[in-house]
Amino acid sequence: MDVDPSLASLIDGAATLTLGDALRRAARRVPDRVALLNDTRTLSWAELDREVDQLANLLLSVGFDHGDVIGFMINKRPEVITGFLACARIGAIFAPVNFKLHLDRVRDQFETAHIKGVFTERVRDRLLEGLLPLLPDPRKIIYVGGAGRYGDTTYDDLLQQPVQLDPACYQPMPETVCYLNYTSGTTGRPKGARTTHRNIQENAVATIAGLDFRQDDVFLGMFSVFAHPHELFHRSLLIGGPFVILDTLSPRVIADAVARYRVTWMMAVPSFYEMMLDYTAPRSGASASHDLADVSSLRILESGGAYVGAETLERMETAFGCTFMPVWGCTEATGVGLANGPDPAERQLGATGRAVPGYQFRVVDERERDVEPGVVGELLMRGPAVAFQGYLNMPDETDKLFVDGWYHTQDLVTMDEGGYVRFVGRRSEMLKIGGIRVYPLEIEKVLMDHPDIVDCVVVRAEERVRGEIARAVIAVVQGSELSAKAVQGYCRARLAVYKVPRIVEFWPSVPKLPNGKIDKRAVLAVAPDPTRDHRGA
């Protein structure tokens, strides 16, 4: 894809910039252009740069040093961005904390990451109380949005700090680790990928060039504050464009925000776009209720975290009147590595996508030999954005998955001769029914084609006689009287008989992780029950 010359000059060599350098460059080049948009405050690039300097000075004044890990237990608010960039500017390491986890899990993260201090909010005091033995210096407990019970420092203390950073301060390098990017922990203990300035910048360059991200794009990222928060701003930072930070998962509120801020580019899971449709004015010219949001500013809907079929893609593009672009990424890739678009003429419906610039992929068998096009194998990846410094304090996991310059994703896929990848399933989730391999995604695709089914997940279960079987947990449209037998009959007409779910359960909704992916561990934690019918509960 051809890149606009003015944009090319900004991203050429940008991977050698630290995040602090990129911010300083934007502040000097477009000081008055809007950077951060929020319901409570708006910051220009010059104002953002100045506030980051003041916060960096505050961090130094309370005793933080380069290499220190600083935890962030705050909601999605502007201080996440200023905090991330202030840590990066002094060479400290930003560590997002999933404050929704049980205290034991949070304490484990603090201990393994050696977190020296924390940004928090008064509403986190109950959780923070259990972490106090690990935080002996109250100066390094920094409250955002007002004072709390346990810390001596508030975010507003930065107002007493110099508006410029001392030039003698430690200057990080592009290869300096600035961020612990945590996996979702769907298959075990969350792993913190040691992510460098260069990793983040390389992914920003790759996705700006490969996805047609533009300087005038107003970006809104819907992922959680503790699930890859760098993706909320890293492309905009590099080219000096505006981005929106909102702490809500309400589709109505987001639709209104798209209209208010004239958002052009969103990143969310497919199911969120589905929910937004109820609150957006139609693009077909049909009459609409006055309280529906005008989202005609949207140019790109970037969709990750779940499979997108051809029917869904075409329906979304018709409804929103813009490009719907499926993508694939992972923690270790530092963002999006595969994309199916943005040029509709080059798309393959139903595919996950093909490599964006800077990434290379292979598909291999159990002996790590390349397989033929169309054959299922494991997806391997490499490139300068990949976090090859591995996982923090997890040498065995690092050695297992980062091998000979390739990262083993553990995703089972096929790749065609044109480089388009199609996701088949996770290696750990593959079923073996009667000795035959069965991929849950194949069953889920069939289920999602049923007009009454709005969400589903297929996991393994055990039967005394048959051994491993497929168990389907589904959510249906309101008022549906769909029965388990009807679901099985629907599947039987479209799948081999051994792939038909032996257990079908109706849940009010399919549980999700903060990043929007299905929480399969939560499903597996509930014992199978073929009589379960909780629709509408």
Whether residue 187 is predicted with pLDDT greater than 90 in this model: the reply is: no
Do 417 and 436 share a domain, yes or no?
A: no
Report the C-alpha gap between 334 and 207 in whole angstroms: 11
Over the stretch 485-495, which tens digit does the pLDDT of each residue have?
999 999 999 99
- Decide which of 176, 204, 232 is a domain's last residue: 204
**Residue for token pair 């388009």:** 420
Task: Report if residue 227 sits inside a domain.
Answer: no
In a domain, 225, yes or no: no
Q: Token match 């508006």: residue?
A: 163
Count of other CB atoms within 10 angstroms of residue 371: 16
Same structural domain, 52 and 188: yes
Assigned domain for 518 exists: yes
Strand partners, 219: 243, 265
Kindly state whether residues 343 and 456 are assigned to the same domain: no
Check whether residue 419 and residue 455 sit in a common domain.
no
Q: Percent helix, strand and coil across the chain, each rounded to 5?
A: 35, 25, 40
More reliable by pLDDT, 533 or 270: 533
Residues 275, 147: one domain?
no
Residue 94 in tokens: 């930003």
Residue with tokens 């069953």: 443
> Do residue 66 and residue 191 come from a single domain?
yes
Same-domain status, 350 and 309: yes
Distance CA(113)–CA(391), nearest Å, equals: 10
Confidence grade of residue 536 (pLDDT, cut at 50, 70, 90): confident
Within a domain: residue 468?
yes
Same domain, 77 and 183: yes
pLDDT confidence of residue 287: 45
Q: Measure the CA–CA gap between 337 and 205, rounded to whole angstroms.
A: 12
Report residue 465's pLDDT band, with 50, 70 and 90 as the boundaries: low
* Mean pLDDT taken over the chain: 92
- What is the CATH number for 315? 3.40.50.12780
* Listed residues 399, 426, 453: the one ending a domain: 426
Model confidence at 286, pLDDT cuts 50, 70, 90, reads: very low
Q: Is residue 480 a part of any domain in this protein?
A: yes
Q: Residue 141 pairs with which residues in a beta bridge?
A: 118
Q: Which among 378, 403, 426 is the end of a domain? A: 426
Nearest residue to 229 (alpha-carbon basis) of 238, 241, 221:
221
Which pair of structure tokens corresponds to residue 322?
């813009």
Question: Has residue 241 got a pLDDT over 50?
Answer: yes
Query: Is residue 213 in some structural domain?
Result: no
Whether residue 253 has pLDDT greater than 60: yes
pLDDT for residue 381 is more than 60:
yes
Number of domains the chain contains: 3
User: Hey, which residues does 473 pair with through a beta bridge?
Assistant: 457, 505
505-523: pLDDT as tens digits: 999 999 987 767 788 888 9
First and final CA of the chain: distance in angstroms? 49
pLDDT at residue number 255: 96
Backbone φ and ψ of 442, nearest 5°: -60, -40
Label residue 317 by pLDDT band (50, 70, 90): very high
* Together in a domain, 438 and 296: no
pLDDT in tens, 199-218: 999 999 999 999 999 999 99
What is the domain range of residue 290? Answer: 248-426
Closest CA to 51 of 23, 19, 22, 92: 23
With a pLDDT cut of 90, the percent of the chain lying above it is 73
Return the CATH number at 506: 3.30.300.30
| Distance (Å, whole) CA 181 – CA 98 | 12
Using CA atoms, how far residue 64 sits from 24, 41, 87, 174, in Å, is 22, 27, 9, 20
298 and 416 assigned to the same domain? yes
Whether 383 and 402 share a structural domain = yes
363 shares its domain with 463: no
| Residue 215 is assigned to a structural domain of this protein | no
pLDDT tens profile 318-365: 999 999 999 999 999 999 999 998 888 888 988 999 999 999 999 999
Residue 237 placed within a domain: no
